[in-house]
Structure 1
Amino acid sequence: MIGSPVISSKPLSMKRNMVWNTAGSMTSLVCQWLITVLVVRIAGGYEAAGVYSLAVSVFGIFAPVAQYRMYTYQISDTRGENTMGEYFTFRLVTDGIALVGCFVYSLFTCSIDAVPTIMIFGVYKCVSLLLDVLHACEQRHRRMDYLGISMILQGVSSLGIFALVFWLTKNLNLTLVAMTAGYIVIAVAYDLPRSQQFEKLKLGIPIPKAWHLLTYCAPIVIGALLVAAASSVPRQYLAFDMGEAALGIYASVAAPVAVVQNGASYVYYPLIGYFADYYAERNYKKLLGLFARVTGGITLVGVVCAILLELFGVPLLELFFANNIAEYAYLLTPMIISAVIAAYLWFLSDLLIAIRDFRGNFIGNAVSLVVAVACMVPFVATWGMNGVSFTVAASSLAGAVAMALSFVLKLRSSKADEPSEGAA
């Protein structure tokens, strides 16, 4: 068969997998940021950027329902509870639920003109989440080069399509439709042939299995919904209090800061399966050693990114954005601080899922939202756009502390359940 030697199922080393994951994720992240740049540059103002950011924020509230934390669950599924086809079918169900929720929410909280853009963006993101099921299969079989290349293709194609279609039409909705079509082509032409060498994609899932996943994972999904709201609701409040243009400015300055938060995920995400394995084996020494290395890695990524953004953040803003964006550079430092803390919250959240501590995950995320709601109004009133960053920092710190305590208690409980030495 022509081309078959190119597709290999031989596992890669941990180091190579991390390199490919970082390359793909970074490319995708940079391309998504450049899209936020092009929205402003091509449209010639911040209104389109505000609508795009609003779509991102609103779908971000319901993204946890669409994801249902299945990527982390799938890659830590050491016992092979479900097939790739069952995970894919379940993702179709959760995508549908999320889109319905997104539609109802946007009708009641957003201007009617923004609803079509929000829904089309939602479909675009749901298609990418279907691709994640194939990526999780590739990661579980230690072939993150496949998912890395796929993310590179997704990022470059989305950027190219956005630049061309939005420049020609100035129509954000039509542009998002074209970007969605690009994702579908990548899924069919690239990811399916590679993921199916490990498992055939046979659609369908027994109702008892689907119901089990819906109920068993509900606490972590609700928790993810809460923590997503903890970062999205303050942005929406900013748009309500100061206007969509203010949100567009905040989102434009915040775009490069996403490197900090996402860069941290590149450190730990390829290792989630190892955390699950070590916990199942009760190998606490390796588990805690890996935990310490990841903590150090996230700290290092945060420090390096913070230094780089402090040095080059303003020149980058001046280079890519028009309309005197550099005068808002004072927003950078609070954004960097909040991004580092939020990144560690992400890590602890996924770690608790890997060791199946759903209760601790839920409590930590709930704490995060409560703090965000309590802080956002006075913080925005006091610090304006910086109030959003301070709100996210405070809420993420509170949630991270709660999750760290849950992690410690989970390990103590697990050790206490171990049979004593010499026991029959």
Structure 2
Amino acid sequence: MDAPSKKKPAELSIGRNMLWNSAGSLTYLALQWAITIVIVRLSSGYDAAGVLALAMTVFNIFSPLAIYRMYTYQVSDVKRENTLGEYATFRIITCAAAFAGCLVYAALTCPSSTFVAILLYALFKIASLVIDVLHGEDQLNMRMDYIGKSLMLQGIGTFVVFCTVLACTSSIEAAIAGMLVVTCIVGLVYDLPRTRMFSRIKLGIAKEKVLHLLAYCLPIVLAAIACAVVPSVPRQYLSILGGDAALGVYASVAAPAAVIQMGASYIYNPLLSLFSQRYISGDITGFRKLFGRALAAIAALGIAGIAGYMLLGPWILPLVFGESISAHLDLILPVSVMTAVSALLWFANDLLVTIRQFKNALIGNVISLAVTIPSSLFLVPLYGGNGVSFSIIISYLAGIASMVALSAIEQKRKKK
């Protein structure tokens, strides 16, 4: 590993790491969501909002290639098989490939008037993904306060600059460029000096290692894609049967429930390095205890989230979306359960990545995808929007069960 440039900062407790990571992540996500709201207020009509939505959609197509599931892989690399510089270089390579994909896709399928905005938005997201590599090193060294503060700076800075530039220029391209500049400044001025206290960043990676990582991590990339596709199958079928309005109602009710899944990730993400350390060291008892505590915390959060949404949803939803949504409050409970089950599936996914059981993760998510097709065809016509939630719940539970079974079989095989 590259030698640190300064004295290594002291580690923080798991609790403080969780708090800082949660606070930063929530601030960033909330302000990014707020941008999609204020853009309508700050511009004449909905054209700018449509361009921003298109830019987000195009990048999301290629984001799995840009991310390549490297963050989870990096924070569980407790043996330091790769240096920070190698992770950064690999991220730059995958982001460059994703950017090229965005460029070609936008040129072939999008209006020419949106081309610059799409590419600028892609660069903005790529800048934040490069900073994520620095955050991975921070997490390995138990200093997620750096991550939380960085996300707060990025969130507040991008929101203020986006609103200011858009209000002054009425240019969505200039506003997105402003977000790109702010993100780069935070990365260079705040993140880079702090991460360099743990490791110098010497860019470069051998061609053989690039090819190895591309091939080795491909199963978990495909697993993540399969996992993300599962909800789209019943949702699209609902749109076909009930029209855009039915899907719009479902999406509106489902959006607040996503807090359950986000909250679960804030619980277990700071623990991934510890899971890897205990597994590699052979401390299976310690691994199981940590797993039990994480699972209990996620379950408690899920129960609290479901109960909270059941209690507050009937009041919040009409306030936000109007009284017409009151006719669809029966969607709340299935949607809440679906989100809690989704959180468990992503926890299983990330845990299998930390212990390097990539094949089991892929098989489990492919099973989920396979189950969602017949379950959607059967349940959506019967139950409408609730059928979407039922289909996803059944599909994800099938995936979780298969991953647990496959992992148990592999552990028994290793003991022999």
TM-score strictly above 0.5: yes
What is the Cα deviation at residue 187 of structure 1?
0.8
Code of the residue aligned with 2:150 in structure 1: it is: S
What is the aligned length? 411
Please say which of residues 11-20 and 92-101 is displaced more in the overlay: 92-101
TM-score normalised by the chain length of structure 1: 0.83
- Secondary structure of 2:263's counterpart equals helix
Given that 1:57 and 1:235 are in contact with CA atoms closer than 8 Å, whether structure 2 keeps it comes out as no
Question: Does the residue aligned with 1:412 lie in a helix, a strand or coil?
Answer: helix
What is residue 140 of structure 1 aligned with on the other side?
140
* CA deviations over 1:172-212 (Å, ceiling 9, x no partner): 55543332332222111211111111112222211111111
- The reply to whether residue 372 of structure 1 matches residue 372 of structure 2 is yes
Give, in whole Å, the separation in 2 of the partners of 1:358 and 1:313.
38
How far residue 238 of structure 1 moved from its aligned partner, in angstroms, is: 5.8
Map of 1:303 onto structure 2: 303
Unaligned stretches of 5+ residues in structure 1: 1-5, 417-424
Q: Which amino acid aligns with 1:142?
A: M
Judge which range, 243-252 or 199-208, deviates more: 243-252
CA contact (8 A) 1:261 1:340 kept: yes
Residue pair 1:85, 1:201 contacting (<8 A) in 2 also: yes
Structure 1 158/65 Cα, relative in aligned 2: closer, same or farther at 3 Å? Answer: same
Match of 1:188, as an amino acid? L
The offset of 1:297, in angstroms, is: 0.8
Alpha-carbon shift at residue 15 of structure 1 (Å): 2.0
Between 1:222-231 and 1:59-68, the stretch displaced more is 59-68
The alpha-carbon deviation at position 410 of structure 1 amounts to 2.8
Say which is worse superposed, 162-171 or 254-263, in terms of deviation: 162-171
Distance 1:44 1:234 in 2: 35
How far, CA to CA, are the matches of 2:17 and 2:35 in structure 1?
27
Where does 1:58-77 land on structure 2 (aligned, <5 Å)? 59-77=59-77
* Other-structure match for 2:411: 411
Partner of 2:268: 268
Task: List per-residue Cα deviations over 1:250-269 (Å, max 9, x = no partner).
Answer: 54443322211010011111
Conserved? CA contact 2:68–2:217, under 8 Å: yes
Give the corresponding residue for 2:150: 150
Q: Is the 8 A contact 1:161 1:178 kept in 2?
A: yes
> Is the alpha carbon distance of 1:314 and 1:95 closer, same or farther for their aligned partners in structure 2, counting shifts above 3 Å?
farther
State the partner residue of 1:23: 23
Unaligned runs of 5+ in 2: 1-5
Alpha-carbon deviation of 1:49? 6.7
Whole-Å separation in 2 of the counterparts to 1:242 and 1:165: 40
Asked whether the 8 Å contact 1:50–1:245 carries over to 2, the reply is no
Change (3 A) 1:48 1:145: same
TM-score, normalised to structure 2, is 0.85
Aligned-partner Cα distance in 1 for 2:113–2:390: 31
Letter in 2 for 1:396: Y
Name the counterpart of 1:337. 337
Moved more, 120-129 or 364-373: 120-129
Q: Is the 8 A contact 2:8 2:198 kept in 1?
A: no
What per-residue deviation string (whole Å, max 9, x for no partner) do you get for residues 156-177 of structure 1?
2333344445556666555433
Aligned-residue sequence identity (percent) comes to 42
Q: Distance in 2 between matches of 1:235 and 1:110?
A: 24
The 10-residue stretch of structure 1 (129-138 or 39-48) with the greater mean CA deviation from structure 2: 39-48
Match of 1:198 in 2: 198
Tell me by how many angstroms 1:305 deviates.
1.7
Change (3 A) 1:56 1:338: farther
From the superposition, tell whether residues 291 and 7 of structure 1 become closer, same or farther in structure 2 (CA, over 3 Å). same
Which stretch shows the higher mean deviation, 268-277 or 379-388?
379-388
Q: 1:389: how far off? A: 3.4
Equivalent residue number for residue 285 of structure 2: 285
What are the Cα deviations for residues 140-165 of structure 1, in whole angstroms up to 9, with x where unaligned?
A: 11111100111122222333344445
Which residue number corresponds to residue 89 of structure 2? 89
Q: What's the CA shift for 1:127?
A: 2.1
Q: Deviations over 1:230-252 (max 9, x none)?
A: 23455566667766676665544
Choose 353-362 or 333-342, whichever is displaced more: 333-342
- Write the distance in 1 (CA, Å) between the matches of 2:254 and 2:49: 12
Partner of 2:10: 10
